[in-house]
Amino acid sequence: MADARIITDEFISSNAVNSSALSNAKKVSNSGGFRKLCKSADETLIFGDCYGSGSKPYNASVDFSGDTPVFRCSCPSRQIPCKHCLALMYDWTAGKDFAVEEIPEDIARKREKIEKRAEKAASGESTEKAPSKPNKSAAAKKLQKQREGLDLAGSFVHDLLANGIGSVNKAACSQYSTLAKQLGDYYLPEPQAIMNEIIGAVSKLSENPDDSEANNIIALCVRLGSTIKKSRAYIDQKLESGEVLPEDSILYEEMGGIWKLSQLKELGLFRENAEILQLSFTRIDNELRKEFVDEGYWIDLAAGDILRTENIRPYKAVKYIKTDDAKFDLYTVKELCIYPGTINRRIRWEEAESRPAETKDFAQVLSKAESISSAVKNAKNELKNTLSRPYAAVLINFDSIEYTGDGHGVVKCGDETIALREFNDYPGSCSALRLISGVLSGGALLGGLFYDAQQHSFSFSPFSVVTENEIIRL
Partner 1 sequence: MEVKNNVFYELRSRLYASAAAGCSLIAEDFRLKRALEAFQPMSEANKVFGKLYAMCDSLVKSADPAAEIIDCIALADALAVTQGSFADGSETAPVPSNGIAMPCRLSYNELEEYKEKLRKVPYTDVDFDKRFYEVISDPRLLSAFLEISGRNSTGVADLLVQIGSVFGENFYHLLFNTLDLSDKNATGNQIRYISSVTRERFNDRYREYAENESTPEGIRIASIEAMRYSAANEESLFNIYSISKGKVKSAALLSLAALNSAHTETVVAKAAAKPKITDFDLLCASGSKAAEEFARSELGFCYDNLGKEELSTHPFLTRRFSSFCLLGNKKNVNDVFEKWAARPLQAAQLSGSRHEGYIKINEPLINNLFDYDDPGFRDMIRTLHSRYPEVFAPSAFLLALIEEPENACSKICSDHMAHDLSAIHFIRRIFSTRDGWYRIRRAYCTTVEDFMNIKLFRSVPGDMLRFLSDTSVIYSEKELEKKFPDVAERAAAENIMKQRCICFRDLLSWCTDEDRERIRTAAEEYAWAMSSRYPCEELMNLLPEVTDKPLDGIVYSYVMFIKDKKRHGYLYYYVEDNGIPEEVIVSDLKKVLVSLETESPDGYAELKTTIKRILEKHGIKE
- Site membership for partner 1, residue 215 (CB under 8 A): yes
Exactly one of 6, 400, 414, 468 binds partner 1 (CB under 8 A); that residue is 400
Applying CB under 8 A, among 1, 94, 130, 162 the residue interacting with partner 1 is 162
Residue 473 binds partner 1 (CB under 8 A)? yes
The span from the CA of 310 to the CA of 41, in Å, is 41
Name the one range near partner 1 by CB under 8 A: 90-98, 263-271, 357-365, 431-439: 431-439
Neighbour-count burial for 120-141, b at 16+ CB within 10 Å, e otherwise: eeeeeeeeeeeeeeeeeeeebe
Report DSSP letters for 343-389, one per residue. Answer: SS-BEE-S-EEEEE--HHHHHHHHHT-B-HHHHHHHHHHHHTSTTS-
Nearer to partner 1, 118 or 222 (CB): 222
Among 113, 129, 170, 456, binds partner 1 (CB under 8 A): 456
- Residue number with CB closer to partner 1 (267 or 419): 419
Residues 309-328 that bind partner 1 (CB under 8 A): 323, 325-326, 328
When the beta carbons of 314 and 390 are compared against partner 1, the nearer one is 390
Residues 6+ apart with CB under 8 A from 460: 372, 396, 411, 418, 419, 420, 421, 445, 447, 448, 449, 450
Interacting residues with partner 1 between 17 and 36 (CB under 8 A): 19, 22
**Binding of partner 1 by 164 (CB under 8 A):** yes
Within 105-134, the residues that bind partner 1 by CB under 8 A are none
The helix or strand, by DSSP H or E, that contains position 396, with its residue range, turns out to be strand 391-398
The verdict on 214 binding partner 1 (CB under 8 A) reads yes
Closer CB to partner 1, 28 or 221, in the complex: 221
CA distance 90 to 9: 7
In sequence order, what are the residues at sequence separation of 6 or more whose Cβ sits closer than 8 angstroms to the Cβ of residue 149?
182, 183, 185, 186, 187, 188, 191
Question: Which 225-264 positions form the footprint of partner 1 (CB under 8 A)?
Answer: 225-226, 229
- Nearer residue to partner 1 within complex by CB, 129 or 170: 170
Smallest gap from residue 333 Cβ to partner 1 (A): 21
Query: Considering only residues 334, 346, 437, 442, which one is a binding residue for partner 1 as defined by CB under 8 A?
Result: 437
What does the longest C-alpha to C-alpha distance in the chain come to? 75
Binding string to partner 1 for residues 273 to 292, with x set by CB under 8 A, is what?
--------xxx---------
Angle between helices 136-163 and 170-183 in degrees, nearest 10: 170
What's phi and psi for 265, nearest 5 deg?
A: -65, -40
Helix H, strand E, coil C: the string for 433-451 is: HHHHHCCCCCEEEEEEEEE
Selected binder of partner 1 within 115, 174, 436, 468 (CB under 8 A): 436
121 or 436: CB nearest partner 1 = 436
Q: How many CB atoms lie within 10 A of CB 440?
A: 16
146 sits in which H/E element? helix 136-163
In terms of Cα–Cα distance, which of 76, 32, 23 is closest to 50? 32
| Minimum gap (Å) between residue 291 Cβ and partner 1 | 17
The DSSP annotation for 148-207 comes to HHHHHHHHHHHHHHHH-GGG--HHHHHHHHHHHHHHGGGT-HHHHHHHHHHHHHHHHHHH
Choosing from 42, 67, 353, 402, the residue that interacts with partner 1 (CB under 8 A) is: 402
Q: Is 169 in the site for partner 1 (CB under 8 A)?
A: no
Interface residue with partner 1 among 8, 127, 135, 167 (CB under 8 A) is: 167
Q: How far is the CB of 131 from partner 1 (least distance, A)?
A: 35
In angstroms, give the least distance from the CB of 338 to partner 1: 24
Cβ atoms of 446 and 462 within 8 Å: the answer is yes
CB of 469 to partner 1, least distance (A): 10
In this chain, which stretch among 112-120, 264-272, 308-316, 406-414 interacts with partner 1, using CB under 8 A? 406-414
Cα–Cα distance list, 265 to 230, 260, 269, 275, 299 (Å): 25, 9, 5, 18, 20
Verify binding: residue 418, partner 1, rule CB under 8 A. yes
Return the number of the residue (217 or 338) whose C-beta is nearest partner 1: 217
Say if CB 453 and CB 424 are below 8 A apart. no
Interaction between residue 157 and partner 1 (CB under 8 A) = yes
Q: Mask 349-388, x = binds partner 1 (CB under 8 A)?
A: -----------------------xx--x---x--xxxx--
Query: Which CB atom, from 59 or from 388, has the smaller least distance to partner 1?
Result: 388
- In 3D space, the residue among 466, 302, 286 whose CA is nearest the CA of residue 389 turns out to be 286
What is the smallest separation between the CB atom of 386 and partner 1, expressed in angstroms?
5
Residue 342 interacting with partner 1 (CB under 8 A):
no
What is the amino acid identity at position 162? A
The residue count for binding partner 1 (CB under 8 A) is 74
